[in-house]
Homo-oligomer: A and B are copies of this chain.
Amino acid sequence: MSSTTGLKKSQLKSLGRILPSDGLVVAPHEKLIYGADAGGRCVMPWAVVRPGSVDQVREIMRWAGKEKVPVIPRARGTNVVQACVPHRGGIVLSCLKLNRILSLDSRDFTAHVPPGVITHELQQAALARNLFYPPDPASVRVCTIGGNINTNAGGMRALKYGVTRDYVLGLEAVLPGGELIRTGARVHKNVVGLDLTSLMVGSEGTLGIIVSAWLKLLPRPQCSATLLACFSQEAHALNTVDSIFAAGVLPSAMEFLPREVLQCLSGYASMPWPAGTGAALIIQSDGTGPGVEEEMSRIRLALEKTLHVDLARQEDEERIWEFRRLINPASFRLGPDKASDDVTVPRGRILEAVEGIRAVAREHSLPVLVFGHVGDGNLHTNFMYDSGIQGMRQKAGLARRDLISLVLGLGGSMSGEHGVGLSKRHFLSRQPGPAALRLMREIKKVFDPDNILNPEKL
């Protein structure tokens, strides 16, 4: 493929004037990586632009608006739904040079952050000032605030602390044509006009290029503890979840690992649970020391017929969370490829959903691993397969289609945290409904009348 397909020489020259030195990437071997994300598809971008200032972003968008060239914004590309793949061509706009925290105020409890800041870096900078930025996606050490905002990233702590949208107070964004808009404010409460801030969060780069965000911070919780509880039956684990909530405890995290996941882990490394374990919960509580101890003792009282219990405090907690992190590498024992979704169901229907997902897997003769954020009803579902075997990729696609039918039938959502991207675009007409979809498309036109921003996503 030609390295600059889709761009005229004169257009490349204009981009070069806006972005001197290494701001413009045209060499195929350098720009290829910008055509992929963690969703497993790669399309060569026409060119990659790497602005180092808001002014450069504005100039690029002014140029792109005039030339009607598609722009696909991205940061670290850790999303798994092909949200920043330039599948119809266009230039990729990398936000990674906009990466210096602008302010972090320990009296205002706010941070002002450009999109290229790594989420973990912000968390650490906040902790150093006794502040706390709760959103904690699994990719926290590599993903960015800009990506988190564009996908409304969730994570383990969403049960108690909510998702990225709950922490975005205001945004600065550049529209196609180069106009800079400001939404919200640097205050914790604000009800002036329509909430453009929330609208832009989770919009997958389709409405504007976010160039900075005002984020809300909390006081830093001083202690935490994590409990691993293993059960013979899944119903015991899920009854335990109900009992914990009934005891007035809202854990910061609560993960459910059904039997297939435990078996897969046991086959991969040495695990602490006894044979016959059919389900496990990993539960975390945070707050003051005595508050955490009280919650942990209530959680222990709520446990129904356990086979194995382990409690870890502070630094020692990682020992338990390591089991959760091993699921991904261990999963590939079941097949070299995975068809991955992160469906959500009403919390009371989790067992029904897990059983239904197993039936779908059996129907298509595929191994499946289901696990996830049980407090939110958010289930990560991986059908494992081998794309080297003819017809297997199609089979996995059919299983995904049946999965989504199942979940929508249970009153759920086809995505709790990952979003739509290209990966679920063809399912989109099934969930929001035609009237809501029409409104979304018309709102998109308000921001981007020529459809140049991440076109055909959402």
A binding-site residues for B, Cβ under 8 Å: 105, 107-110, 130, 151-152, 154, 158, 162-163, 165-166, 175, 179-183, 185-196, 198-199, 201-203, 207, 218-222, 242, 245-250, 287-291, 293-295, 298, 344-349, 373, 375-378, 411-420, 424, 428, 431-433, 435-437, 439-440, 442-444, 446-447, 458
Contacts and interface: CB of A to CB of B under 8 A. Distances in A.
Nearest to A440: B194
Contact of A192 (B194, B377, B428): B428
A221 B442 CA distance: 42
A175 B349 CA distance: 32
A255 to B, nearest CB: 14
Contacts of A418: 191
A128 B252 CA distance: 24
B192 A420 contact: yes
Contacts of A165: 195, 198
A434 B435 CA distance: 29
A152 B191 contact: yes
A318 to B, nearest CB: 21
A187 B412 contact: yes
B246 A192 contact: no
A298 B295 CA distance: 18
A377 B216 CA distance: 12
A57 to B, nearest CB: 15
Nearest to A408: B185
A129 to B, nearest CB: 10
Contacts of A247: 219
List the 4 shortest-distance A-B pairs measured between CB atoms, nearest first: A107-B348, A291-B291, A198-B198, A189-B416
Given A199-B198, A440-B194, A108 B246 contact: no
B446 A346 contact: no
Nearest to A129: B246
A199 B195 contact: yes
B294 A192 contact: no
B294 A346 contact: no
A443 to B, nearest CB: 6
A35 to B, nearest CB: 23
Given A105-B346, A189-B344, A246 B412 contact: no
Identify the interface centre among A108, A289, A294, A439: most chain B CB within 10 Å of its CB: A439
B412 A182 contact: no
Given A108-B346, A187-B411, A433-B182, A201 B195 contact: yes
A7 to B, nearest CB: 28
B291 A288 contact: yes
Contacts of A250: 218-219
Given A107-B348, A186-B346, A195-B165, A298 B288 contact: yes
Contact of A221 (B220, B248, B414): B248
A166 B18 CA distance: 41
B446 A189 contact: no
A193 B245 contact: no
A416 B181 CA distance: 21
30 contacts: A108-B346, A108-B349, A108-B377, A163-B189, A175-B435, A181-B439, A182-B432, A182-B433, A185-B344, A186-B411, A187-B345, A187-B377, A188-B347, A188-B376, A189-B378, A190-B344, A190-B415, A192-B413, A193-B431, A194-B199, A195-B198, A196-B432, A219-B245, A219-B248, A219-B250, A222-B248, A288-B291, A288-B298, A290-B290, A439-B446
B245 A194 contact: no
Contacts of A373: 189
A376 B175 CA distance: 31
A439 B196 CA distance: 8
A190 B287 contact: no
A335 to B, nearest CB: 27
Contact of A413 (B187, B219, B288): B187
B248 A196 contact: no
B221 A158 contact: no
Nearest to A187: B344
B190 A108 contact: no
A191 B291 contact: no
